[in-house]
Amino acid sequence: MHLRKHDLLQMNDEWLTRLPAELLLEVSKHLLHDVKELQDRLNQNPDNSSRPPTSQAPWERVSDAEAEAEAGKDSPTEIDTAEAAAEGETEAGEAAEETAKGKPQSTPKAAKKKPGKQPGSPGFGRTQKLTVTATCEHRPENCAACAATLATDAKSQAYTGWDEIDIAPPVEGRIGLMFSVTRHLLLEVECTCGHVSRAQPWRAPPDSQWGKVELGEWRLVGPQLAGVIVFLHLRMRLSRARIREELMELFGLLLSTGVIDETIREAGRASFPLEDVLVADIIQAPQLNVDETSWKESGLRLWALVTTYTVLFLIGPRSAEMLENALQDGFHGILISDGYVVYRAWKNRLRCWPHLIRKLRGLAESSDGRVAGVGKEMEGIMQMLMDAIYEARVDPPPEGLPVRYAADIERLKHLCETHRMDDHPVLRSVVREFLYDWEVILRPVGDPHLPLSNNAAEQALRHWVIARNISHGTRSEEGSRAFALLASVIETSRRRGASAWRYLGTVIAAARKGLPLPPLPAIPATV
């Protein structure tokens, strides 16, 4: 705990003289620790830290000669001063002459204003008056000077505070949401040593990954209300302006779009540690559905990694490294995907049959009769094998599907090999895809209980593709990270039968206090 300006202002020679020896030792330790840290900060420069070159002192980055030349350039010369004085006298004479003639004197040019709010201008605070329903006092536990434990009945008073709007806990027998307004008071408490210590709201240290997104206790929007706002934005696909309208129309609650935007960003940073938890769950799954689609930020892709009870969305490039980094070389289950070349790095995988049949149907509808004939025959064989696989899951044939349909499988392979070097580019591409993934494609024939489609990943992406089209995606790395992570938490909560916004509320509440995040909602027990 560092000594703040408020603490140092209370310390003087007289106060130190009155302290007992043991308390004086504790104060000295605090002061020594702060002095050492300040000395280390003063010694930092671009050569021994991450500070930019512009942080150097002027005498370190500019020579004396350059400094003098620069100073001479900026300072007015005697000639310049004389000219300015003469110019001023001329302007004053002209103004007096115009006044004598009855002409209105022009106002002098205003000085250049600094950007931002000007001193003395009226502020724009909250106009909605709220009734406080509860009060929460925050007391310091130890003296900032001597580190002694502060008594609960010690003299105290509030020095600042804030109001927090939140959703009240549900009441049995009542339907709908109820709001509460809690007034948080920060107290300053006097120690037996005479020092007055102040309670401080918890603040997360700056994080380079999240830019200017702050995380701490001092918030107008409570954690449960924050969870609702995130849910309305991502799951209900409402813009910040429409969320503002919704809260005002339904609940009479007035929030600015700026507050709503800060709440969404804060929720993303608060949930960031859950990304590792989601990855750990996915790695342990026996089967993993993977799919990706385009995103509107710099040509990136929206990836979906889906298991039965866990969904992880990622926004990144369409490359093998993206998937490898996500799975961390720890996934050993079956990967189910389409034919994108990135997925070929996993030998234990399955191909989505509906994707293949759609490609064959495209060949069957070709204007080239020869190509259409090959496509129809291959599509017929694949459709027959698919129907047989579904039937075998209920009533498996005694000889097994590979034996029963050996001739049809051989015919399919013969067609692929025959047209491997075909002049038609689409036909050539499709049959080569079959030959390259031949064993992967036909694995379900030998094991009918293996999945045939990648619908789980495609369905998980569908909602968020609509959200992408409405919002036009994200515009920054920070926004992409927040979108993907919050969407993952919401979708995972829904699959586990838990309230997404209530769980997000508990996550935000813990993160604001610097506490460990609650675990993901439990996987429902199977009947």
How far, in Å, CA of 169 to CA of 460, rounded?
A: 31
Centroid of chain to Cα 161: 28
In a domain, 438, yes or no: yes
Last residue in a domain, options 181, 200, 219: 200
E-strand ranges in 74-176 read 134-138, 156-167
Q: What is the dihedral of CA 237, 242, 244, 245, to 10 degrees?
A: -130
Last residue in a domain, options 148, 170, 200: 200
In a domain, 456, yes or no: no
In a domain, 173, yes or no: yes
Q: What are phi and psi of 158, to 5 degrees?
A: -80, 135
CA distances from 214 to 261, 307, 417, 485 (A): 12, 33, 60, 17
Handedness of CA 227, 269, 215, 476 (dihedral sign): negative
CB atoms inside a 10 Å sphere around CB 122: 6
Predicted local distance difference test score (pLDDT) of residue 83: 46
Q: Which tokens is 320 given?
A: 């093998």
Give the contacts of 306 (CB within 8 A, at least 6 positions apart): 288, 289, 290, 291, 312, 456, 457, 460
CA distances from 228 to 209, 232, 246, 467 (A): 25, 6, 11, 17
CA distances from 468 to 2, 315, 415 (A): 45, 12, 41
Predicted local distance difference test score (pLDDT) of residue 85: 45
In a domain, 402, yes or no: yes
Per-10-residue mean pLDDT, the chain, length 527 = 80 86 85 81 66 58 51 44 45 49 52 71 75 93 91 91 92 88 94 91 89 90 96 92 94 92 94 93 93 81 93 85 76 89 86 93 92 95 96 88 94 95 94 94 94 92 85 80 93 95 97 95 81
CB atoms inside a 10 Å sphere around CB 225: 26
CB atoms inside a 10 Å sphere around CB 494: 14
Predicted local distance difference test score (pLDDT) of residue 110: 54
Task: With beta carbons less than 8 A apart as the criterion, state whether 331 and 288 touch.
Answer: yes
Q: What are phi and psi of 18, to 5 degrees?
A: -75, -15
Last residue in a domain, options 200, 224, 247: 200
Exposed e or buried b per residue across 76-95, where buried means at least 16 C-beta atoms within 10 angstroms of its C-beta: eeeeeeeeeeeeeeeeeeee
Beta bridge partners of 301: 294, 316
In a domain, 118, yes or no: no
CA distances from 7 to 14, 189, 194 (A): 15, 12, 11
Centroid of chain to Cα 214: 12
Q: Decide: helix, strand or coil at residue 304.
A: strand
CB-based contacts of 487-491 (< 8 A; 24+ apart in sequence): 487/234, 487/313, 488/274, 488/275, 488/278, 488/311, 488/312, 488/313, 489/271, 489/274, 489/278, 490/230, 490/231, 490/234, 490/235, 491/311, 491/313, 491/460
In a domain, 396, yes or no: yes
How far, in Å, CA of 317 to CA of 118, rounded?
A: 44
Q: How long is the chain? A: 527
In a domain, 375, yes or no: yes
- Domain range for 372 is 353-446
Within 43-77, residue ranges assigned H as helices are 58-61, 64-74
Task: With beta carbons less than 8 A apart as the criterion, state whether 409 and 445 touch.
Answer: yes
Q: What is the dihedral of CA 403, 407, 410, 415, to 10 degrees?
A: -150
Q: Based on the structure, what is the number of domains in the chain?
A: 2
Beta bridge partners of 135: 183
Task: With beta carbons less than 8 A apart as the criterion, state whether 19 and 193 touch.
Answer: yes
Q: Return the axis-axis angle of helices 223-234 and 477-495, rounded to nearest 10°.
A: 100
Task: With beta carbons less than 8 A apart as the criterion, state whether 229 and 189 touch.
Answer: no
In a domain, 115, yes or no: no
Q: Which tokens is 429 given?
A: 């591409």
Give the contacts of 195 (CB within 8 A, at least 6 positions apart): 7, 10, 11, 15, 143, 144, 145, 146
E-strand ranges in 341-403 read 349-351
**For residue 186, what is the enclosing H or E element?**
strand 179-190
